[in-house]
Amino acid sequence: MKKIYFITLLLCFSLAATAQEFDAVCSTGQTLHYTVTSTSPQRNVSVSCPASEIAQMTGTLEIPSSVTYEGNTYTVTALGQFAFNGCNRLTQVVFPNTVDSINDHAFYECTGLTSLSLPSSVSYIGDYAFAKCSGLTDTLVIPDNVTFIGNSAFFKCSRITALRLSNSISSIEDFTFSGCTSLSEPLIIPDNVRIIGTEAFFQCNHLSRVTLSQSLTRIKTGAFEGCVSLSGTLIIPDSVSNIGEQAFYNCRQLSGIHFGRSLSTIDNTAFGGCRSIVRLEIPNTVSNIGPLAFIDCSSLTRLTLPRTLTHVGQSAFCGCPHLARITCYSNTPPALDDIVFDTFSANIVVYVPCGSVESYTSDNGWGIFSNYAETYNISVVVQSIDENMGSVDITEYPSCENLFVSFNATPKRGYFFTHWNDGDTNSTRTEAVSEDVIYTAYFERDSTTPVDPIGIDDIKPSEPLITAQQGSIIIQHDRPFYAEVYDVMGRNLYRSSQTSQAIVRVPATGIYIVRTDNKYSHKIWVQK
């Protein structure tokens, strides 16, 4: 009797289990598999592709908003884990406005999908949900009801060109958009985002601009590593306390960085290879600069280190051959690890607080420099809102004898200077300073003048890129080249061997001739 009862009980369990799953044909002709996820307070199901139907799942799939089975009607609220994983012959999916969740690996490697329109009902996108959907093109829009996008959700969606993120997400998880190599339009990180995860935008090598969230606190390892087209001035919000290892490594077109006022640590190799940055102003909150943090920032000419800095890691500023001025605001020399600097030119001027020259020259690390000068211990930062629009320069620093600073703003071709952050509209100023101060120059587009790289004359795509910075000509290319620079009298000022970048200081304001690879010649105007 007990044996019969036990068998009957197992049979009941088996019937109950199979009743939780069923198949049905949808309006576009495909057979779909449904799993009951709720029977109270309403009947809900998740949907997926039966294993036997993966090869036959082709063309357009229209997921129904509800399905009826054995007299009961169920609302379709989710795409199950691995729901359509590997259905690479699907070209389009039409979602109902009842779907709330798209779970892990739901459309992983659906390489045939060419577009994606998510309904406003979606709030959750799981790990790898659309990873390797390499056929998706154009703009990807994440609806504002989405509060979570999982790890690697759009990993290697290599043909997406633009991204509009939900205003409701609080973080961008690890690898979420890594390998989206066609992403090119300016990216805005919504203001609710507090963390950008590890390699979140790794090797998005056509991404041109990024505006970071104003509530961002952390940028993790490799977040924008290899974004080689990222240009302009990067503005790190005041809320950011940590920039992780290799966060912006090899972002070689970035022309400037504005650091926020909560930053305490710049980790290993964070900005290594950012070879277009000309000046760095490390804020008065940073205590530690990690090893290799700014290695191979080969255009860097001016570096300002704050009074809060206590330690600089090994090789942090190696590969910066044009460094000409270092300003340190700490009375006590920051501790330097091995070979922090590998440029020891006697022309480098190191400015230190009044009365502290001896403490620097007697320090084992700082003793490598021989040209010291004293300046008043007030931090004066003069910066451009965007180095691509215009540059700034300090022509006279505060000294131990006077507290005046002179500075100016110079717009680039196609732009004009508008004002400083304090409202002053004079592009050239002299001000008395008595405390730490930041002057930021603002520029606007001049609609009457075309925007071209400054000084480039008839440049061809296969030729090196030639631009002018204050007092210098910068020549760059992805391959090695040979270069010569002449003044208008035909006197040779510079001759290089094979190199991929050259920075040539000029003696005076004027026109110069740049000849590359013995066949291309360019005229360029440079202001000293």
Query: 421-451: per-residue pLDDT in tens?
Result: 999 999 999 999 988 999 999 999 888 776 5
367 falls within a domain? no
Token pair recorded at residue 246 = 């290799």
Between residues 371 and 476, the one the model is more confident about = 371
For residue 308, give the nearest of 281, 289, 325, 285 by alpha carbon: 285
353 falls within a domain? no
Share of the chain above pLDDT 70, in %: 90
Neighbours of 385 (CB within 10 A): 22
388 and 500 share one domain:
no
Query: What is the CATH classification number for the domain harbouring 481?
Result: 2.60.40.10
16 falls within a domain? no
440 and 472 share one domain:
no
Between residues 29 and 18, the one the model is more confident about = 29
152 and 195 share one domain:
yes
355 falls within a domain? no
215 and 262 share one domain:
yes
DSSP secondary structure letter of residue 323: -
225 and 140 share one domain:
yes
402 and 260 share one domain:
no
> Where does a domain end: 445, 476, 498?
445
**Looking at the 3D structure of the chain, how many domains does it have?**
3
Mean pLDDT within 516-527: 69
Token pair recorded at residue 81 = 């884990």
Cα–Cα distance for residue pair 447/176, rounded to 1 Å: 38
217 and 258 share one domain:
yes
Give the domain extent around 522. Answer: 465-526
Task: Give tens-digit pLDDT for 384-411.
Answer: 999 889 999 999 888 888 889 999 999 9
The reported pTM is: 0.79
66 falls within a domain? no
What is the signed CA dihedral for 150, 175, 156, 190, rounded to 10 degrees?
Answer: 70
288 and 416 share one domain:
no
Mean pLDDT within 285-298: 95
Mean pLDDT within 462-478: 73
Mean pLDDT within 497-523: 74
338 and 403 share one domain:
no
Instruction: Give the confidence band of 285 by pLDDT, cuts at 50, 70, 90.
Output: very high
67 falls within a domain? no
288 and 407 share one domain:
no
> Where does a domain end: 342, 362, 392?
342
298 and 438 share one domain:
no
Would you state the pLDDT for residue 495? 79
Tell me: pLDDT of 214 over 70.
Answer: yes
Do 386 and 412 meet the contact criterion of CB atoms below 8 Å apart? no
366 falls within a domain? no
Query: What is the CATH classification number for the domain harbouring 219?
Result: 3.80.10.10
Segment holding 7, helix H or strand E:
helix 2-18
127 and 204 share one domain:
yes
Cα–Cα distance for residue pair 341/296, rounded to 1 Å: 11
Instruction: Give the confidence band of 14 by pLDDT, cuts at 50, 70, 90.
Output: very low
Would you state the pLDDT for residue 399? 84
516 falls within a domain? yes
Would you state the pLDDT for residue 463? 65
> Where does a domain end: 292, 320, 342?
342
